[in-house]
Every structure is written in C-alpha cells, then in structure tokens.
Amino acid sequence: MWAPRADLKQHATTLEKLLASKGGAYKTSGLNSVFFHLYTGAKFASVMAERRNFTVGLLLDTPPGVARDQGERKRVEFWEHSKRLQHGSLVALILISPGTSKVFLGTIVSMGAEIGESAKANAEIIQLRISFFDAEVDLMALRRQPISIDSSTYAVLLDNSIMFESVHPFLRTLQNVEPTSIPFSDIVSYSGDLHSLPVGVPRYARAPQFRYKLQCLARPGMNISSLDVNNVTSVAFARQQLSRSSELDPSQVNALVDALTREISLIQGCVLDSSVTTTGFSLPSFQASRNWKGTEIWIRENTLSPHISHRVSQGRRSFVSYSPTKSSR
C-alpha cells in the first residue's frame, strides 16, 4: 500500500478498492475470516478537555450507501439508527506513511445522533469524537498535524463493532496479573500453532484406579465397559462401544470422549438443539459436573427428549468414577 501499482485497476486488492471508494466493509471468507468497517480520509478536528481525559475530534469520509444520500433526513436517520460507529466501540486509527505505520486504539464517545448532526451539512464528511488511550494522539491533534495528505501518507479508521466495556475486564486482568498465575499457562500457545502443545488428562482422572462408568449411556440390553483415561486401548475401545451400544452419533461420541480424557476441550453446539440426531438426543444437553476436591464425576439432566430423559434420571448416579477417598456427594 506504500507504493502505488501500475496494474491497480485490473488487479486491485480488497483494501485498495475500499480506499478508492472512500470506505466500506472489509470481509473475507474461510476459516480465518475477517470483517470490519474501514473509514478513510481521517483528519483531526478540535480537542476537548473532558472530566477524565481528552477527546479528539476526527473528520472521516462518509462511507458508501445510504450514509451518502442526497437527502439530509435520510443521512441523519441512518446514523441515528446505525450499528456502525456506536458509542463505546473500540476503534483503531492507523496512520500510514512511506515505509511505516502506527496504530492507536480508542473508544468512541459520540452518540449516533451527534454523528447524524454532523452529516447534515455535508454528505461527504462525518465527524465524531474519540477518546484515545495514547496521549501521543492528543498532542498530534492539538497541533492539527496533517495525517491524510496523499496516496502514500494517509490515515484510516477501523471499526469492528466491539464494545470496549465487554473486553475491558479481560484486558485489565492480562495487564495486571502475574504470568505464572494465568490458568493453563503451561499450554498457552505463543506461536499460534497448537499441534505441538500436549494436553493432559484431567487432574482428578490421574488418581490410581480411576474409571468412568459409561453403562448409563448404553441402550437396553447393551454393555459399555468402564473408561480408563490413562490407557490408550481403553479409550479406543470406549469410542467403539459408545458408537455401537449408545444413542450417540459419531460426532457426539468423539466430543464426549474428548471432554472426559482431556484437561481442556471444546464442544460446539446449541444446548437447546435436539435435532442433532434422529433420536432427538443432543450431546451438549449432558453437562458434566466435576468435583475438584475429590475424584468424583457425575452428570445432571438439562434438556433431553422425553423418550430418553427417564433413562438419564435412572442412570446418572451410575456415571461415577471410583474414589479412593470418602465421597462428598
């Protein structure tokens, strides 16, 4: 983006198209899909001293669509009811110059009605106020430093509709907590590659002679052996028996065994969705409750189809591991 290309019109990237159209939605598809709204032509306006900090006025190109309508009323109504550039959203101001770029984060303090009011005078420009976390932006705004000059030196604003208050507690914790006290810190990947990170069995399952009793999941007249999570053969055999002798489909069997044999596991699915299988049984309806003080585990009934709920009520107490100590049930 620092060096304009000769074949820009024929082979323009998504970002180049958005810059040419003065903003819009950037989106990709696939596993690592990305979506955000891009606003171009960012320029500093006035700086105001608020009760807690400074807020910086920012002029932006109006994005394509109804926001550029020739009718003043439609433009105002768009921003008053829009989900874009909402009050409290976390945004990023990116300053781009030849060979370098800087990113400054902040939160929007303007309301939709205020942005709509700024759109009355001009269909091409809107104005909003942002509270930035870095004081460097405040100084740049006080000097009215030009940040959008030409095709090689310009500024854009990114908005992904993320409310800052929803992530603030997590960011604050990560900022203040000791790294050694973060749960599962031994299996946090810093490279983004999870293949080399081993995930052990649950701590309570490491007790001697610990077994999961899976018979409560068996169909009438069928048997399912107890599961020893420390035995590879027992784990493979449990998958086979559950697939053959229970109401679970293959994906549910894998999810259940993974949850029982791994310290961390993720089951994706809706708890209230009972259409996962032809029997109406949804695996996430079974929620495992773990007693971290002992080695006992049991299941509780949440949402099940009527024709199998009575079986869970009868069998839930049998889905209990061996405990060498006195049970705290």
Give the tens place of pLDDT for each residue, 7-41: 666 678 888 889 889 999 998 887 778 899 999 99
What is the pLDDT averaged over residues 183-211?
76
What is the pLDDT averaged over residues 135-156?
91
The three-class DSSP label of residue 274 is coil
Q: Closest by alpha carbon to 298, among 321, 325, 270, 322?
A: 321
Q: How far apart are CA 158 and CA 108, in angstroms?
A: 12
Q: Closest by alpha carbon to 106, among 54, 176, 67, 60?
A: 54
In the chain, DSSP finds a helix count (H) and a strand count (E) of 8, 10
The two most distant CA atoms of the chain are separated, in Å, by: 81
pLDDT at 246: 92
> Which residue type, as a one-letter code, is found at position 235?
V
Q: Rounded to two decimals, what is the model's pTM?
A: 0.57
In the DSSP assignment, the letter for residue 110 is: -
User: pLDDT tens across 260-298, in order?
Assistant: 998 877 776 654 333 333 333 333 333 333 333 333 333
Phi, psi of 161 (to 5 degrees): 60, 35
Categorise residue 242: left if φ over 0, alpha if ψ from -120 to 50, beta otherwise.
alpha
Q: Closest by alpha carbon to 162, among 84, 248, 55, 216?
A: 84
For residue 319, is pLDDT > 90? no
Other CB atoms within 10 A of residue 82 CB = 15
What b/e readout covers 243-279, taking b as 16+ CB neighbours within 10 angstroms? eebbbbbeebbbbbbbbbbeeeeebeeeeeeeebeee
> Which residue type, as a one-letter code, is found at position 292?
W
Q: Closest by alpha carbon to 42, among 81, 96, 80?
A: 96
pLDDT at 238: 93
Q: Closest by alpha carbon to 108, among 169, 39, 175?
A: 39
Query: Torsion angle of alpha carbons 269, 274, 280, 286, nearest 10°?
Result: 60
Tokens encoding 227: 């599961």
| Contacts by 94-101, CB closer than 8 A, 24 or more apart | 94/155, 94/156, 94/157, 94/158, 95/147, 95/155, 96/1, 96/2, 96/152, 96/153, 96/154, 96/155, 96/156, 97/152, 97/153, 98/2, 98/152, 98/153, 99/2
- Per-residue confidence band for 150, with pLDDT thresholds at 50, 70 and 90: confident
